[in-house]
Amino acid sequence: MSPFLLTRTLPEDATDAALRADVLHGLTRTPKTLPPKWFYDAHGSELFDRITDLPEYYPTRAEREILIARAPEIAATTGARTLVELGSGSSEKTRHLLDALPGLHTYVPVDVSESALTQAGQALIAEHPGLGVHALIADFTGGLALPGTPGPRLVAFLGGTIGNLLPAERATFLASVRALLSPGDTLLLGTDLVKDESVLVAAYDDAAGVTAEFNKNVLHVVNRELGADFDPGAFAHVALWDARHEWIEMRLRSLTEQTVKIPALDLAVDFADGEELRTEISAKFREEGVRRELAAAGLDLAHWWTDREGRFALSLSVAR
């Protein structure tokens, strides 16, 4: 195969259609919601990069610490010849795995962003001569077909992103990942852990206000793409811990009674003073809960690693 292949599995207009569907569904229900994936236009991605460097935001540093410490063990355990990364973005963290996998034949990054895939893929080929990169422009939550590459396969889903899915969505997602694997293939999963509420809330409501700007970026995206007239200044950033569900919720609270018009959808959305729009959940996990969810999908948890402070975990599970 050539060193770099790019396959599009999404139609050219898939992003626009998905945004329209999500906005129409989310803003006409009670309570109102928008999915967190719409934070991530170019500006939103820059803001998130800034968030990962904030003193309050520990997950990225904690996960990197585990990857650096455990990559050789992961490589020895899996013997992976194909590494698939879901939601690969810049593939920055994956480099620790790539460096540790001497027998790796192909890296398959999966993301909705063609530019991110191309940039990261070409950089990795320069760093790892002989490595094949077969990038997929795809939405990994909507079903996925992988290219024919040699096994064993290791699928990586890092960053705690699985926490953005509701429990029923997680079950569907994990079952879809299992369907990609042959017995003995593995899943490397990043999960943020339950901890003190003050630590969790601070990570999503930093003193510098970067996360607040990131949260409001979803309104800028809807304005730009759908011609809406959201006034981001008329909404306040809210981050709270839901102890019953063990997840953080990010919300935008309307500071006044207002009506937002979205011409592309021929839609007018009324907000009451104080009404909240949920933009993200970020579930936090315990080892036994992760083990149960994996087992239900046909995956057996084989290794559980945390950072030194026990804030974040990487688990390696094996397909039955």
Distance CA 61, CA 219 (A): 28
Residue 201 CB-half CA count within 13 A: 10
Q: Collect contacts of 146-150 with beta carbons under 8 A, ≥24 apart.
A: 146/84, 146/108, 146/180, 147/5, 147/7, 147/106, 147/108, 149/81, 149/82, 149/105, 149/106, 149/108, 150/81, 150/82, 150/105, 150/106
Res 41: pLDDT: 85
Give 166's contacts (C-beta < 8 A, 6+ positions apart).
Answer: 281
For the chain, the average pLDDT equals 94
Chain centre to alpha carbon of residue 251 = 18
The β-bridge partners of 131 are none
Q: Which of the residue ranges 57-61, 96-100, 108-112 has the most confident prediction, judged by mean pLDDT?
A: 57-61
User: Rounded to an integer, what distance in angstroms lies between the CA atom of residue 178 and that of residue 183?
Assistant: 9
Supply the pLDDT for residue 2: 55
pLDDT-based confidence at residue 112 (cuts at 50, 70, 90): confident
pLDDT band at 196 (very low <50, low <70, confident <90, very high): very high
- The DSSP symbol for 310 reads S
**CATH numbers and ranges of domains, the chain:** 1-138+153-228+286-320 (3.40.50.150)
Pairing label, strands 235-242, 267-271: unpaired
